[in-house]
A and B are shown apart, each in its own frame.
Chain A
Amino acid sequence: MRLLDFILRRSFTALFVLVGVSLITFFLSRVIPSDAAALYIGPKARTEDIERVRKQLGLDKPLPVQYAVYMGELLHGDLGNSISTKRPVTQELAERLPATLELLFMGIFIAVLIGVPLGVLSARRQGSPLDVVVRTISIVGVSMPAFYLGLLMQIAFFRNLDVLPLAGRVDSDLRFVSPIQSITNFLLFDSLVTLNWVAFKDVFLHLILPAFTLAAYPIGLIARMTRAAMLEVLGQDYIRTARAYGIQQWVITYMYTLKNAISPTLTVIGLTVAYALTGTFFVEVIFNWPGLGLFTVRSLLNVDYPAIMGVTLFGAGGYVLINMIVDLMQAWIDPRIRLK
């Protein structure tokens, strides 16, 4: 029952934050710009068009009324039309989301797969050369700009070694050789379920460099936090007791310690997803990856205002959701959190 209480309370907070987020984007999009209507219609607008959009956006009405209209549109999933493509922003986002999510999942997956064991190992051997190496890797990881690492990867693995593709999601002639039947637009998944191995290999190879570039920062962060959390747990009395009972070291490390260190690690993985969300912007630009990030950067450069605000709302909404999921998972893993 307490878990249910917690879920309700946490959902309420998330709702409150979402309303706040909408307030901030409302201010950014309608109140701060000196002429929001001109921004919404783009640079080449005629005066009468601007006037029309001003009416349409309700900019001639008092602020609370404007906000109510804005919220109404948001709740209907209406983020306006993109200036550059003239299509609904919601539709533009939905089309590009799978590409970004595929990259994001792969990046986080790699980061967890490498970061957690690194953190565990270095905590087990605190102060050893291995610990120093892991600490160095993690600090290098968080200091490396994604837009620089991506270029280095391209030089190394495309130009010098010629083992991985330079950019893009698939090879340009794949659609002639072995086209992917589009189901979910998660290409790795689509090619797998249609048993299209040629395409699967191609998609996979294209995913490697961007995913590793995206993973660099999270690897560092996750390794560091896992190490800190492990050290904290390793210092507890019950671990000493377990040792005194002669329980094997790997059982202590993986079953007793890691289990209890997982909660702070989860928090960091949640944070990491948020970082990776903005990280994908740079990675997608470098690797010409047709996802949300590339769309956002193009919109920013074209001052495609409805598109930018749509992405901002969407990103913040996603972030709030991820944080909530992480909190719920923690409450589920660690009963102490529910009782607070």
Chain B
Amino acid sequence: MNLVLTRIDNRLIHGQVLETWVPFVKADCIVVANDAIAGNQLKKMMMQASVPSRMRVEIGTVVDSVALLKSSQLDKCRTMLLFGTPADAVRAYRAGLEYKQLNLGNLHADKWQAQLSCTLFLDTTDLADLELLDRAGIKITSRCIPADGERSWRKLIPVVKGRN
């Protein structure tokens, strides 16, 4: 397992990931750990169609993805792992996946309570999940694209807004 980037991005594979992060970390394999996409053949196909064919894409449930990453199949790849929500990241951690850093890209909780940056809207469960991962020693940083500065999620003061 050679994880070059672990990222939470509710849009999963999109322009930011493919156009900025892939060349930046020189990834050649993307693992998408998302139950909803894995369970829908059409969504899975669409997502695969947006990636150039020279890159390897593995879309699976969180459990399957963790198993895949722990196996030796992806040893030769520089892998980028994408989660849709902090909850999935916690599940992967509990399933025994070891990762040292976690990048926060885009998150759009519907009933958000806190805004960490212009693209990070978190609700209370998200905050609790991140807290848990942080305690586990994972370095959580917010960085939308490589050209942005990297900032620890703690340093971003949550703008708590009572909404709805």
Is A bound to B?
no
A residues touching B (Cβ–Cβ < 8 Å)?
A: none
B residues touching A (Cβ–Cβ < 8 Å)?
A: none
